[in-house]
Chains A and B, each alone.
Chain A
Amino acid sequence: MQRREMWLAYLMLAPTFAIILMIVAGPLLANFWISVKPVQLADLRPPSVLVNERVRGKPAAPGDAATLEYRLRNSSQDEEIRNVVLKDEVPDGFDVSTLPDVCSLDGKALTCSIGTVEPKWRERLKLEGTVSEVFLAAHRPERQSKPVVSGDANNILTNFDFTLENFSRIFSADEFWSVLRVTFYYTIFGTGGALVLGLFAAQLLNTAFVGRGFLRGLFLFPYVSPVIAVAFTWVVLFDPFSGTVNALLTKMGVVSDPINFFGQRAIEFSVFGINMEFPLALSTVIAFEAWRYFPLSFLFILARMQSINTDMYEAAEMDGATPLQQFWYLSLPQLMGILSVLFLLRFIWTFNKFDDIFLLTGGNAGTRTLTVDVYEQGFALSNLGAGAAVAVVVFVVLVTFATLFIRFSPKEEGL
């Protein structure tokens, strides 16, 4: 019975295991592999021989001579291709008289073994012959069958060329350290902002009143809506030329020139003669993060607050504790557990965030975080290897966080 139960359990878990190994665990490992390989985006299309077939000689009447010509080309500029074989069927009504040396004809089946070809190689294979009625009657007779070329080439993803250049490139780039700094600012302030807003919102809705259900639903909107919709709405709202916020600010005389919230790296200002910079675009992006994710912490904090026993508050009330004292000495200690769990979870998820910044600024104006850098290196600069190297950095930082999270997470919250 025990054994059967065990096997049943494994059987039921097998599909889950399989898909997670394939789509999550596999790619995680593959990242390490790709990060030490010189892979460009273009290398994903393996080198192949391209072929083009046409009829030459303009045969007009049965018995005329014609040439069937295959033009072949190595698509790669720097990789050779081995064991190249071309296979095709000679069109109906074409009598072959001379064949190239490399080719052989078996009935209608044509096989040409070309062997190894160099990078940038080009060649024409010509079949001489005469045509008959059938050939002339057909429309584009050479299209009857498609020539197929096979060959073996080095696949950069599976061979054993390794390089550390990706890592040296990303670590030596000036911007890497600023990317790292921006990532931490974004993560810490984004998480903190979402938590503080969530705590406030939960305080507001903790007491019963008419319209509370409505407001709770409304407060969840930013979180439930697609990121694409809210991100673009923010972009439109804060647009320097046609955005509502800038129009309001300038028309009402708050600022003289429109502010490019998502495009300007920093605003300089001086306090007591000390010049300081305020990172504008980064702050706007952090505000978006706090706005979009406060509903989540709000929901959790509200749920926790409503489970706090009210006896305690009644006792405190008797003893003359003021509302702020009650919040500070009673509510907050009770909420500490959920707050710390939320902080750690949100910290990791904010660190992982890609969509929001990518849609808002594209990582420009001093808002490029590590995750956006993965995209930037891998796809915008077409260097998959470097992108994977940044992804490895992301993963390593994340494992550090996760270790801390597991060590310090309060057990009794049971999240």
Chain B
Amino acid sequence: MRPGSVLLAAVSGLIWGVTAMVVIGVTLTLVTGEVAMPQASAAGLAGILSALGFVWRQSSDSAGGIPARGFSAIILLLVLMVASFATPFGLPLGMAPVWQGLALILFVFSVTAANAICLSDARFGPMSRYEREVIYIRIAKGIGFVVFTIIVALPFYVMVMTSLKSQQALLANPLDLSIDFSKGLYGLFRSYVELFTQFNFGRYLMVSAFVSVSTVVLTLLFSVPGAYAVSRLRFPGQALLARSVLLIYMVPAIVLVIPLYAVFSQLGLRNTLTGLLIVYPATTIPVALYMLQGYFRGLPSELEEAGLMDGLTRIGVILKITLPLSLPALASVSLYVFMIAWNEFLFAFMFLDDPDIFTLSRGVVSLNSSEVPRQHLMAGAVIATVPVLGIFLWFERFLVQGLTAGSVKG
């Protein structure tokens, strides 16, 4: 027996017991709407004992008897029930029994599995520094997975679930994020129906799509020739230009807003989509040009020279050789520019006053008032998010390439 080794198993048990209890307890609360009081200290104690039991069974020489996992699971359950006086989630067992049962099973299963994975080579005897560090890192990584998944997923979960609630339900119990089927599909998606019928969101969606797609087309029209020139043609100032493109997308939009607002107001371009379609490409062209020229440089120039030999013009070479070869890069750039234009907020907010030409971003801002209920705001957020997330998931490979290649505007 080494104190360090015992401590290691206890730490693993404590951390997993407490973490699993808090996470599962909170999830139980959000799913059922009943306020659970996760018994973290009882769970911690149960975790410690079961982890110790696991290591003891695992390292004991006797091959027979109950396997280590089963043994530690039983200890876990027993200690938890005793230490929490049979209310592991602080709720009477009769309340939401199915969910509580599920949560309990999930708790026992996840703590046992986590301990078994983390402590798979652990023993009470002496362990090398290497072995101990491996176990600590397993614990840290495990916690990392749980924490990251929760902090990333929780806001999106709340966004979707809030949009499906009614005003009264939200005020009555902000913790109840379950899906309420009792009012039928219409009751469930009421916020969405109202946004599309009364708040003109169908139109905003069309405007956003139009603006984003036009921005992509305009950006490509400008940046493809520019990128080709920078990467393939020799001219004075080429190196300087390739460098300074990067500087342009460090210019903050807020610095451009006041002069553009002043000039566009006087030219009558403010509050028009034309105005937006001038500004958006201007902010995306440098990024697109930078990404494309990097890709064009990587293409073998022999192909283009062969094309020139065979009597193609430069334009012909670009259209028939360079562009077909760089389709993946074009896809990345297009998706990336689409994302920027779709998500853009500042200029849409400053320029657009007329609800007929609101983009989605601008439309969602107009929902942020005390007169509009929260679930409408969240439904608007969902409507703005779903298309761009859908595109992201569908074309993830291209978009990830785009994000890394462009080193991205922030």
Closest residue to B399 on the A side, CB-wise? A224
When A203-B141, A248-B175 are in contact, do A20 and B254 touch as well, CB less than 8 Å? no
Q: Are A324 and B137 in contact (CB under 8 A)?
A: yes
Closest residue to B339 on the A side, CB-wise? A224
Shortest A216–chain B CB gap in Å is 8
When chains A and B are docked, how far (Å) is the Cα of A374 from the Cα of B261? Answer: 13
With an 8 A cutoff between CB atoms, is B278 at the interface?
yes
When A13-B229, A233-B378, A374-B257 are in contact, do A23 and B144 touch as well, CB less than 8 Å? no
**Residues in A neighbouring B345, C-beta threshold 8 A:** 226-228, 355, 359
Partner of A228, one of B234, B261, B286, B384: B384
When chains A and B are docked, how far (Å) is the Cα of A375 from the Cα of B374? Answer: 26
Q: Is the interface of B mostly helix, strand, loop or mixed?
A: helix
**How would residues 19 to 48 of chain A score, 1 for a CB under 8 Å from any chain B CB and 0 otherwise?**
110111011101100100001000011100
**How would residues 57 to 96 of chain B score, 1 for a CB under 8 Å from any chain A CB and 0 otherwise?**
0000000000000000000000000000000000000000
Q: Are A232 and B378 in contact (CB under 8 A)?
A: yes
Shortest A276–chain B CB gap in Å is 26
Partner of A395, one of B170, B234, B255, B350: B255
When A221-B152, A251-B35, A323-B133 are in contact, do A20 and B255 touch as well, CB less than 8 Å? no
Looking at B47-55, B298-306, B320-328, B400-408, the stretch in contact with chain A turns out to be B400-408
When chains A and B are docked, how far (Å) is the Cα of A102 from the Cα of B35? Answer: 82
Q: Are B159 and A233 in contact (CB under 8 A)?
A: yes
**Residues in B neighbouring A350, C-beta threshold 8 A:** 410
When chains A and B are docked, how far (Å) is the Cα of A203 from the Cα of B360? Answer: 36
Shortest A342–chain B CB gap in Å is 9
Within 127-175 of B, Cβ neighbours of A (below 8 Å) are at 129-130, 133-134, 137, 141, 144-145, 148-149, 151-156, 158-159, 162, 170-171, 173-175
With an 8 A cutoff between CB atoms, is B319 at the interface?
no
**Residues in B neighbouring A203, C-beta threshold 8 A:** 141, 144
**How would residues 323 to 345 of chain A score, 1 for a CB under 8 Å from any chain B CB and 0 otherwise?**
11000000000000000000001
Partner of A387, one of B154, B258, B380: B258
* Total A-B residue contacts, Cβ distance less than 8 Å: 281
With an 8 A cutoff between CB atoms, is B364 at the interface?
yes
When A24-B282, A233-B158, A322-B129 are in contact, do A374 and B258 touch as well, CB less than 8 Å? yes
When A28-B251, A233-B158, A349-B410 are in contact, do A388 and B258 touch as well, CB less than 8 Å? yes
**Residues in B neighbouring A252, C-beta threshold 8 A:** 35-38
Interface residues on A, range: 35 or more
With an 8 A cutoff between CB atoms, is A50 at the interface?
no
With an 8 A cutoff between CB atoms, is A148 at the interface?
no
- 17 other contacts beyond A19-B282, A201-B144, A228-B384, with CB at 8 A cut-off? A8-B314, A13-B226, A20-B286, A22-B282, A24-B251, A28-B259, A203-B144, A219-B148, A220-B392, A224-B388, A224-B392, A225-B156, A226-B361, A228-B381, A229-B385, A247-B173, A296-B403
Q: B: which residues have CB within 8 A of A? A: 26, 29-30, 35-38, 129-130, 133-134, 137, 141, 144-145, 148-149, 151-156, 158-159, 162, 170-171, 173-175, 177, 221-223, 225-226, 228-230, 233-236, 238, 241, 247-248, 250-263, 265-266, 278-279, 281-283, 285-286, 289, 314, 339, 342-343, 345-346, 350, 360-361, 364-365, 368, 374, 377-378, 380-382, 384-385, 388-389, 392-393, 396, 399-400, 403-404, 407-410
Sorted from nearest, which 4 A-B pairs have the closest CB atoms? A349-B410, A352-B252, A23-B282, A229-B381
